[in-house]
Structure 1
């Protein structure tokens, strides 16, 4: 899907009461609604809606319903992407997911921030900042990733985390606000036995 209205980055813009943006959001919500009503085994119909909704979609992409987003065309998804139930993406700016990304249930990625000043907020001013998730990332259940955040390759975000700042590659990060707990090491490969392997 090609955007009809561009949202400016890194500056306040009229987002809440913009008729053109509101029309695009309504169109997107209609597609999300149709997607969420599909038979969960109708993978062909799911892929057809997603390919028309998302800006870019790799191979082997699964969004387990329900899934909601604002525009859709600002979302780019790599290969072997899996999201569990109740993923919400407010994609006023670009949201980019690399390859081999796993997202647990009830996660939210939000590029939008409303104005801090109450008058600007009443006037409907907001700002949108992109979110980038690298390759081989696992996002735990109930995590929230805020505007402007980058999560590096091979990292794990713990369940319930609120990610307010960027997270480097190759780490386990958790908490409110989310902080790096430790690096991922070779020892993590031996943490659990693999079924069927001696």
Structure 2
């Protein structure tokens, strides 16, 4: 099994494997190109993002600067918007649903490290996938930690640190992020 396969399977892997370093460098190159585009270069931005992101819907906007580790491990649905300074450490899979909005400075982390200090210096890392449902809004400066799932229709308040799963149809805030309100959805006619 390759180091990339181990990484995506959540197994211990060597983050400094040459093939992984090359993939990260490719992502760094593409994000640099993207972040240096002018606002009017809409088509160029779309072309770059489609080369970088593993899967993305047709209707999206990601305000520069944007940073990620690989890009290829990110899947984004339709009608996605991310404001400035969107950061994704996509060593593991990051899945984002349809109709999702991110305020500035949102960070998603899938990479984690071993707790045993004797193993850490040996480049031993592992990942936990992150899943964000449909119609989710994430407030400014929120951090979404490895292994978290956020359910459909939920709102994550600004500055929150999401360390555990958040169910559908709630407002959750704080550090650590906790549910403060259950949403009653009303259908528009």
Same fold (TM over 0.5): yes
**Residue in 2 that maps onto 1:45:** 44
Distance 1:26 1:120 in 2: 25
Secondary structure of residue in 2 paired with 1:96: strand
Which piece of structure 1 moves more, 24-33 or 116-125?
A: 116-125
Aligned 1:9-88 pairs, distance under 5 A: 9-15=9-15, 17-88=16-87
Distance 1:123 1:53 in 2: 29
* Offset at residue 53 of structure 1 (A): 0.7
Q: Give the TM-score taking structure 2 as reference length.
A: 0.93
Secondary structure of residue in 2 paired with 1:118: coil
For structure 1, list consecutive stretches of 5 or more residues without a partner in the other structure: 190-198
For structure 2, list consecutive stretches of 5 or more residues without a partner in the other structure: none
* Offset at residue 19 of structure 1 (A): 1.5
Q: How many residues align?
A: 184
CA RMSD of aligned residues (A): 1.5
**Residue in 1 that maps onto 2:179:** 180
Q: Which has the larger radius of gyration?
A: 1
Q: Give the TM-score taking structure 1 as reference length.
A: 0.89
Distance 2:145 2:36 in 1: 28
Q: Per-residue CA shift, 1:42-74, capped at 9, x if unaligned?
A: 110000001111111102111100000011111
* Offset at residue 11 of structure 1 (A): 2.4
Which piece of structure 1 moves more, 4-13 or 81-90?
A: 4-13
**Residue in 2 that maps onto 1:164:** 163
Structure 1 residues 30 and 164 mapped into 2: Cα distance closer, same or farther (>3 Å)? same
Q: Per-residue CA shift, 1:71-122, capped at 9, x if unaligned?
A: 1111011110000000000001110110100000011000000111112111
* Offset at residue 8 of structure 1 (A): 4.2
Secondary structure of residue in 1 paired with 2:119: helix
* Offset at residue 14 of structure 1 (A): 1.3
2:10 and 2:92 in contact (8 A); partners too: no
Distance 1:153 1:8 in 2: 24
Structure 1 residues 100 and 8 mapped into 2: Cα distance closer, same or farther (>3 Å)? closer
